[in-house]
Amino acid sequence: MHHVRRALGRSILPFSRGRGTSRAERGTTGHGASLPPGTPPVPEEDPRTVPRGELEGVGYRDIVRLLLRQPRTFLHRSRQVLAQRWRTSSQVRVIGSVFLSSLVVIMTLGFVLTSFVSQQLLDEKHDVAVAAIDSSRATVEEQIRSSDTSNSLQLRINAARAALTERISGTDESSGGSSTVFEPVVIAPDINGRDVSSPEQQQIPESLRTFVRQGRVADQYATVERASGKYKALIIGSPVSSDIQGLELYLVLPLDNEESTLGLMRGLLFAGAVALMVLLVVIAWVFSQQLTVPVRTASRIAERFAAGHLRERMAVDGQDEVARLAMSFNEMAENLSHQIRQLEDFGSLQQQFTSDVSHELRTPLTTVRMAADLIHDSAGDLDPMTRRASELMISELDRFEMLLGDLLEISRHDAGVANLSLETVDVRGVVKSTLEQVRAIAEEVGCTINLDLPEEPVNVPVDSRRVERILRNLLANAIDHSEGRPVDVTMRTGDGSLAVTVVDHGVGLKPGEAELVFNRFWRADPSRERRTGGTGLGLAIAKEDAQLHGGRLEATGEPGVGACFRLTLPLVPGEEVRTSPLPLEVDTVPVSAAVPAAAAGPAQGVEDVSAGSDTVGAGPGPADDLVDRDGGGVPDGPAVAEPAAAEPAAAEPAAAEPAEAGDSGGSTVHSGQIDDTVLEEAMESLEGTTDLPGFNLDGAPGGHPGFEGFTEEEVRRALEEAADMDDYRPEDDDDRR
């Protein structure tokens, strides 16, 4: 299955290659590299797992203990849990919405009902007070008229209050205790203007007395203090007509019964509201279960299906919306399973075909290589046309072998059988060895490589062969597209990772090409020639090698500014690369620093950015100046074939075309003309014969019986094609575009 994902260039399947087998069970880092002995496997975390809050998994005793000892902490964590559940559970949102809306409705209804009943009770109390004040005023007036005027003011108003109290008591006994109870208060000013009241301790609000003094009947709700305590009451007052000037009568009606009635009603409303809320929550939970349980089941089955369990299906029960959802899901799962199986079969066939073809081509290619080497060794005895043909055959055979090797390597990655051979090495030495290998290419285009390495050794467990291949591809790619400008190579460590950046200041990358550059056989301009003779698979293999280490290979660039490739690897195998110690950016260089390839002069080799460094090289001349930041010499790498002598250059160099991202802007544009001397020699050797001289199948002099020779037009066309292919070089590096 995994090979299908790789063959299409991106991850199209939502599950890993080994269904039912996690990385922990395989005991690897997920990239084929084995963990060090004794290291426990790290379980792979499911990204769909939703955190349940800080109180999840805590026992009830712990929760009660936390509530009693740290109530603020308990409330804080409970709020976090509720907020998390609200975000992640539709059932909690439904129940919470029903609870909150019901609470608002019940509180509103309770407030309205309480206000209405309270107002009704107070209105009834007010009507009773008005009736009582009228009858009481008449009683007081009659008692004052019948009293002896020679008595003191205090005695007269005390007698009036006593008569009123006696009448109230008699009325209460006759009505069986159902009449309204109130306390009378009589107040009158003496000759000195001081108030004389009965009883003497009276608490009538001054605002109410102001209205009564004006000859009006008024009432007011107030809190009255007595020896038994405070209580709310309705106080109504009225002026009394008598020979006593300013006589005032007040009735204090307690509101105890009304308060008791309202308290009982509030209690009943609260109990009913709580019962109703609990009932509504239970009803909401029951009905929400009918919708959320199928949804949760579908979500769980979809997760298992995405994890690779392709036989998972939903149960179809009934004919409602949930049943139709289950049928649609099952149909979709069946179609996906069928397509996945088809892709698996296609990928297996494609992988097997690529592997078989690559292996089967090895045998005839070896035979052809031996024959080509034999012919090439005798090139000095051949005529110019045959000698040129042998050189082209050797060059293309080298490229063909590279292509077969890359196809085999990419097929190993597709099949998931590529393994790492980890060994602790100083990565600085790997970088220097890679620079030595690409030195010939840098000399050819006149490109300077600036090397910036840490002073301390960088010992990291890596597969040095794969890391060297990654860097070789990046450097060859940068040189090929540098247009003769410098290439910067920088290495840094930090944050648990190692980073190497390769920055060129050539044609750069257009927006959107940073991702396409790692696709197989992708080129911004297919008509452009590959200066390094790459196969088009180099950067794709480099990215696979980086991911095999658990690292990343990234690219960025700007048109006309340059491109930056960054390789980031973990310092410890198996750890995740989160950040990189080097930025992914291209520094702008002055135009004066650019050295066109056509005018570069002698190759400048590889040069250190720091002053005072030693110069190390494999031979004399400026082309061998390889210097790094730590002052040490670059170790010798594998032997690099010296480039073949170039054909005589044109007198006037062609103007460079506008380079697209991913294309080499510094390559020479050939006019397609053929060297006249070579053509004349070839024509002279063919005059008067129909056979190709000096070449036959059995090695005997003369021509092959079935070969009738070349026409002049065929020879001219062959030499034109040879001239067009003259810039191919059999290097072991790939370009990107």
Let me know: does 659 contact 506? Beta carbons within 8 Å. yes
The reply to whether 586 falls in a domain is: yes
Q: Is 289 helix (H, G, I), strand (E, B) or coil?
A: helix
Tell me: the pLDDT tens digits for 614-647? 333 333 333 333 333 333 333 333 333 333 333 3
| Residue 178 pLDDT exceeds 70 | no
Taking residues 247-269, report their average pLDDT: 89
Q: pLDDT band at residue 489, thresholds of 50, 70 and 90?
A: very high
Q: Has residue 122 been placed in a domain? A: yes
Q: How far apart are CA 721 and CA 520, in angstroms?
A: 26
Q: Return d(Cα 217, Cα 386) in angstroms, integer.
A: 137
pLDDT of residue 527: 54
pLDDT band for position 722 (cuts 50, 70, 90): low
Q: Is the pLDDT of residue 271 over 90?
A: yes
CATH number at residue 591: 3.30.565.10
What phi and psi, each to the nearest 5 degrees, are found at residue 194? -85, 150
- DSSP 8-state code for residue 165: H
Residue after which a domain boundary falls, among 263, 291, 310: 263
Is pLDDT of 553 > 70?
A: yes
Last residue of one domain, picked from the residues 233, 263, 293 = 263
Taking the chain, what is the end-to-end CA distance rounded to the nearest angstrom? 29
DSSP code string of 360-404: HHHHHHHHHHHHHHHHHHTGGGS-HHHHHHHHHHHHHHHHHHHHH
Q: What is the arithmetic mean of pLDDT over 509-524?
A: 79
The reply to whether 575 falls in a domain is: yes
Spatial separation of the C-alpha atoms in residues 194 and 208, rounded to whole Å: 18
pLDDT digits (tens, 9 = 90+) for 23-78: 334 344 444 444 444 444 444 444 334 444 444 445 556 766 766 777 777 777 77
Range(s) of the domain holding residue 438: 422-737
> What's the domain count of the chain?
2
Burial bucket for residue 573 (CB in 10 Å: 0-12, 13-18, 19+): buried
pLDDT of residue 712: 57
Q: How far is residue 718's CA from residue 116's CA, in Å, rounded to a whole number? A: 109
| Contact status, residue 472 vs residue 648, Cβ threshold 8 Å | no
Q: How far is the C-alpha of 431 from the C-alpha of 454, rounded, in Å?
A: 12
Of 244-253, 661-670, 725-734, where does mean pLDDT reach its minimum? 661-670
- DSSP letter at 151 equals S
Q: Which of 263, 280, 303 is the last residue of a domain?
A: 263
Whether residue 731 lies inside any domain: the answer is yes
Does residue 7 carry a pLDDT above 60?
A: no
Higher pLDDT, 86 or 534: 86
Cβ neighbours, 10 Å, residue 362: 13
Mean per-residue pLDDT of the chain? 71
pLDDT score recorded for residue 513: 81
d(CA 636, CA 631): 15
**Residue 564: band (very low, low, confident or very high) from pLDDT cuts 50, 70, 90:** very high
Q: Does residue 518 contact residue 7 with C-beta atoms inside 8 Å?
A: no
Residue 673 has pLDDT above 80, yes or no: no
pLDDT for residue 660 is more than 60: no
- Assign residue 174 the CATH number of its domain: 3.30.450.20
Mean predicted confidence (pLDDT) in 159-166: 85
Q: What is the pTM of this model?
A: 0.42
Residue 83 counted as domain residue: no
Which of 40-49, 289-298, 566-575 has the lowest average pLDDT?
40-49
Higher pLDDT, 701 or 265: 265
Task: Inform me whether the pLDDT recorded for 500 exceeds 90.
Answer: yes
470 is a domain residue: yes
Distances (CA, A) of 386 to 368, 644, 720: 16, 17, 14
SS (H, E, C) 531-573: CCCCCCCHHHHHHHHHHHCCCEEEEEEECCCEEEEEEEEECCC
Q: How confident is the model at residue 681 (pLDDT cuts 50, 70, 90)?
A: very low
Gap between the Cα atoms of 573 and 422, Å rounded: 9
Element (H, E) at 514: helix 513-516
- Three-state DSSP at 311 gives coil
CA 487 to chain centre: 33
Instruction: Flag whether 496 is in a domain.
Output: yes
Asked whether residue 134 is assigned to any structural domain, the reply reads yes
